[in-house]
């Protein structure tokens, strides 16, 4: 009897052990299989996964050959934080003292005078025209190599006012997962941004895993010339070649990629045409818009859904209405994202 009891115990023990092992294996498998662990289960996550499954399935009429798998992502407000102000504008404002040092006559000229005063309230009242003057003075006129070095250096020390972290840490973890997931499934992922192409290309590879040649942005002309040593260089000219916003995003995609995307992600009216053009293609297409509705973990702004209307980044009611009409999927940061930043615990 005692022997039989021991045997029974051993059998039970083995059975439990097997169950535990199987459960652990299943959990591990599930974790491996979930390409979007920072997303809550819901229609947004489901839309991404089912789109990828569809276009990867050779037996599905929506199958897309690898070379045609192009996905485009707006940057500000879609891949990283755009509040309280676009990161590139922060860079430009920080560059003003150096510009004035090189051209002292600007110190008494607006809008440079206001920026030098450091008065945030006055700076927030600067007009679009003022900002354009600052952008032109801080983004053009120098060598391409010098500009790239300056941007790189700035990112090393600049800190976001709210989280006190490098701006490059303010990327959305769920979107980084989407970039990786699409990349793993044969997509070439592109940033298509209203921001400056030369600016974003400095950090795109390190931050997003997106090489410079897959960054389409607002782009100025450059001019080829020679230094005193006879070495050739490129200078950034104050002439806009591509204003990569609204219809300009589609024109930029045609210029730089030459193919219609199968997936497009944005967050504001400047992305509308990109999503519309993507959706006008045949077969399965994925169009998504990030809605900033999480004041606690990030920011909340609309004015869609009665969210506050802000100057920087908007999600208009008209855009939301169009999204509903056309089947574009709205991502609620509050409900769809389990975690927003990699640095969160």
For 54-60, which contacts have Cβ atoms below 8 Å and span 24 or more sequence positions?
Answer: 54/284, 55/262, 55/283, 55/284, 56/185, 56/186
For the bound state, the minimum distance from the C-beta of residue 64 to a second copy, rounded and expressed in Å, comes to 14
For the bound state, the minimum distance from the C-beta of residue 282 to a second copy, rounded and expressed in Å, comes to 11
Residue 231 contacts a second copy per CB under 8 A:
yes
Of the residues 45, 69, 95, 188, which one makes contact with a second copy according to CB under 8 A? 188
Which C-beta is closer to a second copy: that of 208 or that of 277?
277
Q: How many residues bind a second copy (CB under 8 A)?
A: 35
Per-residue contact flags (x/-) with a second copy for residues 68 to 97, judged by CB under 8 A: --x---------------------------
Residue 65 contacts a second copy per CB under 8 A:
no
**CA distance linking residue 161 with residue 29, whole number of Å:** 40
Residues 6 or more apart whose Cβ sits within 8 Å of residue 204: 191, 210, 211, 212, 214, 215
DSSP for 235-256? Answer: EEEEEEEE--STHHHHHHHHHH
Which C-beta is closer to a second copy: that of 81 or that of 323?
323
Which C-beta is closer to a second copy: that of 84 or that of 220?
220
Question: Is residue 178 within 8 Å of 36, Cβ to Cβ?
Answer: yes
Both structure tokens of 245: 């916003």
Both structure tokens of 14: 């083995």
Taking the CB of residue 131, how many other CB atoms lie within 10 A of it? 16
**CA distance linking residue 221 with residue 295, whole number of Å:** 39
Which C-beta is closer to a second copy: that of 162 or that of 259?
259
**CA distance linking residue 243 with residue 209, whole number of Å:** 24
Question: Looking only at residues 189 through 218 of this chain, which bind a second copy when binding is defined by CB under 8 A?
Answer: 197-198, 201, 205, 211-213, 215
Residue 307 contacts a second copy per CB under 8 A:
no
For the bound state, the minimum distance from the C-beta of residue 188 to a second copy, rounded and expressed in Å, comes to 7
Please choose, from the candidates 233, 228, 216, the residue with its C-alpha nearest in 3D space to the C-alpha of residue 144.
233
Residue 143 contacts a second copy per CB under 8 A:
no
Residue 255 contacts a second copy per CB under 8 A:
yes
For the bound state, the minimum distance from the C-beta of residue 254 to a second copy, rounded and expressed in Å, comes to 5
Q: Summarize as ranges the residues that interact with a second copy (CB under 8 A).
A: 67, 70, 144, 188, 197-198, 201, 205, 211-213, 215, 219, 221-224, 231-232, 234, 241-242, 247, 250-251, 254-259, 273, 276-277, 280
């Amino acid at each position: 009897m005692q022997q039989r009891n021991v045997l029974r115990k051993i059998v039970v023990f083995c059975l439990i052990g097997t169950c535990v092992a199987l459960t652990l294996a299943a959990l591990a498998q599930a974790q491996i299989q979930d390409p979007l662990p920072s997303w809550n289960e819901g229609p947004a996550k489901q839309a991404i996964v089912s789109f990828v499954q569809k276009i990867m399935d050779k037996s599905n009429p929506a199958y897309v050959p690898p070379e045609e798998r192009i996905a485009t992502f707006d940057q500000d407000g879609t891949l990283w934080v755009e509040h309280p102000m676009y990161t590139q504008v922060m860079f430009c404002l920080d560059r003003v003292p150096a510009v004035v040092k090189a051209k002292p006559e600007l110190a008494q000229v607006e809008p440079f005078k206001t920026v030098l005063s450091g008065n945030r309230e006055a700076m927030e009242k600067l007009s679009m025209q003022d900002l354009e003057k600052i952008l032109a003075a801080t983004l053009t006129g120098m060598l391409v190599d010098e500009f790239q070095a300056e941007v790189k250096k700035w990112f090393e020390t600049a800190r976001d006012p709210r989280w006190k972290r490098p701006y490059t840490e303010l990327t959305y973890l769920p979107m980084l997962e989407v970039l990786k997931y699409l990349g793993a499934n044969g997509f070439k992922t592109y940033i298509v941004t209203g921001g400056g192409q030369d600016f974003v290309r400095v950090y795109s590879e390190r931050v997003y895993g997106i090489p410079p040649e897959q960054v389409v942005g607002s782009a100025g002309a450059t001019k080829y010339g020679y230094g005193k040593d006879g070495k050739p260089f490129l200078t950034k000219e104050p002439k806009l070649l591509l204003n990569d916003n609204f219809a300009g995003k589609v024109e930029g995609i045609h210029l730089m990629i030459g193919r219609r995307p199968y997936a497009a992600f944005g967050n504001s009216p400047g992305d509308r045409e990109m999503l519309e053009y993507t959706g006008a293609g045949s077969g399965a297409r994925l169009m998504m818009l990030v809605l900033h509705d999480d004041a606690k973990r990030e920011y909340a702004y609309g004015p869609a859904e009665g969210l506050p209307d802000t100057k920087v980044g908007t999600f208009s009611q008209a855009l939301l209405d169009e999204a509903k009409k056309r089947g574009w999927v709205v991502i609620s940061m509050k409900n769809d994202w389990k975690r927003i930043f990699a640095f969160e615990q």
